[in-house]
Structures are given as structure tokens and as C-alpha cells.
Amino acid sequence: PQDVGILAMEMYFPQRCISEAALEEFDGVPQGKYTIGLGQKYMVFTDDREDINSFALNAVGSLLKKYNIDPKSIGRIDVGTETIIDKAKSVKTVLMQLFEEAGNSDIEGVDNVNACYGSTAAIFNAINWVESSSWDGRNAIVFAGDIAIYAEGSARPAGGAGACAILIGPNAPLVFEPVHGTFMSHTYDFFKPNLSSEYPVVDGPLSISTYLIALDNAYSRYREKYAKRAALANGHTNGVNGHANGANGHAEPKGKPSLSDFDYMVYHSPYGKLVAKSHGRVMYNDFVENPSAPEYSSITPADAEALLAVPREKSYSDKAIEKTFIGLSKSHYAKHVGPSMECAQRCGNMYTASLYGGLASLLSTVEPKTLQGKRIAMFAFGSGCASSYWAVKVKGDTEEIRTKMDLLARLDAMKVVPCEEFVDALKIREKNHNSAPYTPSGSIENLWPGTYYLESIDDKYRRKYAMT
């Protein structure tokens, strides 16, 4: 199969959100702490009527319906989530209900877990399957989603909720390029060891430095591996990807790529400010590689020398580096990263769905014609930690995806509610986590029409879903 990648996409998010400005007031913190300090506008939440299974049924059910997908045409489903409600039974098996009527029980794949990275592990699995010798000719679906909630404290405004469903197959308009730069290591920056609570144990500052260290390393491996592959492919005419370059996109670089070799960048977004920092960080990496490039001509020789003198391990907390490159990358960010931030601004951190919500935002904000032939850099990160940097090439028309998702109008239609509702919803979840038997008390009125929701949990912890 050729050009394996994304054929279709759908996003799901609950109907209610709160404003981060209102939360600042509600929490009694200084104005700007969440809106400027974290760079967040709104945060989605839900109560006990929704769980990860209902999210999955909503996202995948809607993908099948909107794109008129024959359930028998699916041969694999991979799930990525860190919203765990069962230590053995996968979310994937719950999704099998959507394929039962069509008589399709021959669907490979189960759940992938590692914080926000599970979605990327799932997508890589699905793509690898289509490209493998065990592929049976059918398409794959990836579901990724999370309910991102934190205990009271400084992490709470960095929560959110949302999910995505992605159809994977050959001859796709969005093709995954084959070079992945990956960085994984053993860290205790954000983890969920307490199974009686939905909340993570999080070391905020460590999670930020872990993210940035992962970005440096994944980007650096990506560039090295790309250059190596390009050198090997040099004798051939068709570059790294085995195909000629698109009409108006960036040419495939011959050596180590830099930011200027991509048209757009999508970063996993825990909150907006970290994405701006990350973009500056990538520019800093490019600067270290080639300080005399014209993009850095506004940095004086004395400043350049001082910036280059900072050892890598100290650079993560160096405010001069951060300030210089956030400043220098500001207009580049607005044009090349900003269009991917719509979902993140409205929904907050969707954990595994954040990166793909970013891609969905990009496809919704940039004209499909403009996107043709473009290269999109992707950075996936999950605490603990796992990360990858790679590129997606737009080889076909993305108009259908944009129209069917109808993302911007749906984000706009969300209800902004008082912060009390958010706090009450978290209290209900907290109090009843792991309860059985249990009947949720959240009002069905708070859900979008046609939404799957949790109806009840019986005395054997079996969950039953209904639709509004």
C-alpha cells in the first residue's frame, strides 16, 4: 500500500466549559495567572454521566456515521488513553459494540497506555499494520481521548477533556512520513499510581523540563535520521519519501531539516504557553546548529556568544534563552503554529487527543487549497516519558475532513458555564470514583443531542450506556 495516513477524522468533546478568566476570579488568584501565565482561554469538563467508554463510543460512532463507513471495512482499532477505568478490559472491546450488528468481530488491536503518548503509539501501530505483511486490505481506526482533571492546586487550571477518532488507510490525503525521531526515558514527572483516584501525581516543574528535554532529543534524532536517509536516497531521484515534491509545499531537505523545512508545526499542548515555549525551543536548537543563519541576525554577536555558552543541561531553565527565542519566534508562531491551537484554547489539555486536536484545528483553520503539498511537523509527548517528532505530508484534498468535522462551529457552540458547575462536577466524580452499583446523577441536559452517556454501573461494575 502507498501513502498510508489519515483518511478521515472526527473530534468529540463535552458540551460544557468554563472560562479561565472566570476561574482566576473564582480561585482568588492574580488576574492573568491562567490566561497569560498558562496561555489558556477555556477548559472543558464533564460530570459522572461521561467516562472514557462513552467518549470512545461518541467519537468512533460519529466517525462511522459522518463518513458513511461500512463497519465491515475496518480490520483494526487501536486506542490511546490514560483515563483508566479497568485494569484488564480494554476500551477497544467496548467499541466492538459498534461493529456487532454488521457481524464484524475480526478487528485487531487493543489499548496503548503512556500518558498523553498513547494516541501516537496507537497511530504508529495502525499505520505499521497497514504497511505490514499481515494487512488484510481493510482500514484501521484510532481512538484517543481523555478526561484530564487534577486535584485542587496549581495544576487544576491545566485540565480539559476531549477525544478524536481517526480513519487510517492507504492513498490518504495526510500521509505519515517514515522518519520518526523518538526519545523515551524513565521519569516520575506525571503518573497515576493511586488507582483509587482519577488524579495524577504531578511534579509541575519537572513535567515541563521533561517535555522540553524530550522535544530537544526527539527533534535532534529526527534531524539526524532524516539526513541519514536523505544521504542514502541521494542516488535516487525521489528523495526520502520516494515521491516527487508537492507543487507548492516545502521541498524535502537534502541534509538535516530545520524549522524552515516545515510549513506548519503541531505540538502536544498541555497549555498554550508551553507550546509557545516549545516553538521557541526548536528555534533555539536550530540556532545552536547554525548561529550565523540570517534568521538570527537580530541577535548581537555578544548575546549570541552568551546564549551559546550556556550548557545544554542548564539551558532548560535559562530565562534569557527562553525570552530570546519566544520573542524571535513570535511571528513565525502566529503563522505556522497558531492555526493548530483552536481545540486546545477551547478544550484545554485533552491528553492523548491534544496533538490530534491540534491537527484537526489546523485542517479546520487553513484553506484546504493552501494546505495542498504542505509538510506538517508533529511533536508527541507523554510524561513518564515517551515522545516522537515526525512529519505529515498533505498529499490530497482535506476539504471533506474539514466539512464533516465542522470543528470551529462546534467549538463555538459550547456552553460557557459558571465555575461552580465545574467544581461540583469534579466533586461528584471524586466521591463516586470506583463506586458500584452506581447510578450517575449528572443531568442529561448537559450533553449534546445524540450523545452516548453512562446510564448505570451494576454491582459487578458492568457499565451500561444509553444515548440522549
Residues of each annotated binding site for CoA? 207, 273, 277
Check binding of 204 to ligand ACO (CB under 6 A).
yes
- Asked if 155 touches ligand ACO (CB under 6 A), the answer is yes
13, 347 Cβ separation under 8 angstroms: yes
Grid coordinates representing 186 are 524513565
Binding track over 173-202 against ligand ACO, x by CB under 6 A: -----------------x-----------x
Query: Is the Cβ of residue 180 or residue 273 nearer to ligand ACO in the bound state?
Result: 273
User: Is residue 28 close enough to count as binding ligand ACO by CB under 6 A?
Assistant: no
Say if residue 292 is exposed, middle or buried (CB neighbours under 10 Å; 0-12, 13-18, 19+).
Answer: exposed
The smaller minimum CB distance to ligand ACO, of residues 63 and 214, is found at 214
Which residue, 56, 13, 10, 15, is CA-closest to 444?
15
Closest contact distance (angstroms) between CB of 182 and ligand ACO is: 17
Q: Which residues are catalytic?
A: 82, 116, 268
CB closer to ligand ACO out of 198 and 252? 198
Q: Is 153 exposed, middle or buried (0-12, 13-18, 19+ CB in 10 A)?
A: exposed
Q: How far is the CB of 160 from ligand ACO (least distance, A)?
A: 10
Tell me the per-residue interface mask from 360 to 399 with ligand ACO, x by CB under 6 A, - otherwise.
-----------------------x----------------
Rank residues 211 and 325 by Cβ distance to ligand ACO and give the closer one. Answer: 211
* Closest distance to ligand ACO from the beta carbon of 174 (Å): 24
Please report how close the Cβ of residue 155 comes to ligand ACO at its closest, in angstroms.
4
Nearest to 189 by CA among 118, 120, 114: 114
Cβ-count burial 420-451 (b if 16+ within 10 Å, e if not)? ebbbebbebbeebeeeeebebebeeebbeeeb
Q: Tell whether residue 154 is a contact of ligand ACO (CB under 6 A).
A: yes
Question: How long is the chain?
Answer: 468
In the complex, residue closest to ligand ACO by CB:
37
Rounded distance between C-alpha atoms, residue 339 and residue 279, angstroms? 14
CA dist list (Å): 52 to 39, 82, 262, 440: 27, 9, 34, 15
**Shortest CA distance to 340 belongs to which of 244, 276, 387?**
276
Q: What is the radius of gyration, based on Cα positions, of the chain?
A: 22
Pick one of 40, 54, 125, 207: the residue that binds ligand ACO (CB under 6 A): 207
Asked whether 356 and 116 are in contact (CB, 8 A), the reply is no
301-309 vs 319-328: helix crossing angle, rounded to 10: 130
Q: Does 36 bind ligand ACO (CB under 6 A)?
A: yes
- Mark the segment that binds ligand ACO (CB under 6 A) among 32-40, 49-57, 129-137, 430-438: 32-40
Distance (Å, rounded) from C-alpha 446 to C-alpha 437? 23
# binding residues, ligand ACO (CB under 6 A): 22
The interface region with ligand ACO, picked from 153-161, 191-199, 410-418, 459-467 by CB under 6 A, is: 153-161
- For the record, the C-alpha cell of 230 comes out as 536523505
Binding mask 254-293 for ligand ACO (x = CB under 6 A): ----------------xx-xx-------------------
Instruction: List Cα–Cα distances, 281 to 58, 174, 180, in angstroms.
Output: 36, 26, 19
The piece of 203-211, 240-248, 327-335, 358-366 that touches ligand ACO (CB under 6 A) is 203-211
- The β-bridge relationship of strands 386-394 and 74-80 is unpaired
**Known binding residues:** 207, 273, 277
For position 325 contacting ligand ACO by CB under 6 A, the verdict is no
**158 near ligand ACO (CB under 6 A):** yes
417, three cell numbers: 458555564
DSSP 8-class letter at 198: S
The minimum distance between CB 206 and ligand ACO, in angstroms, equals: 9
Q: List residues near ligand ACO by CB under 6 A.
A: 30-33, 36-37, 116, 154-155, 158, 190, 202, 204, 207-208, 211, 270-271, 273-274, 349, 383
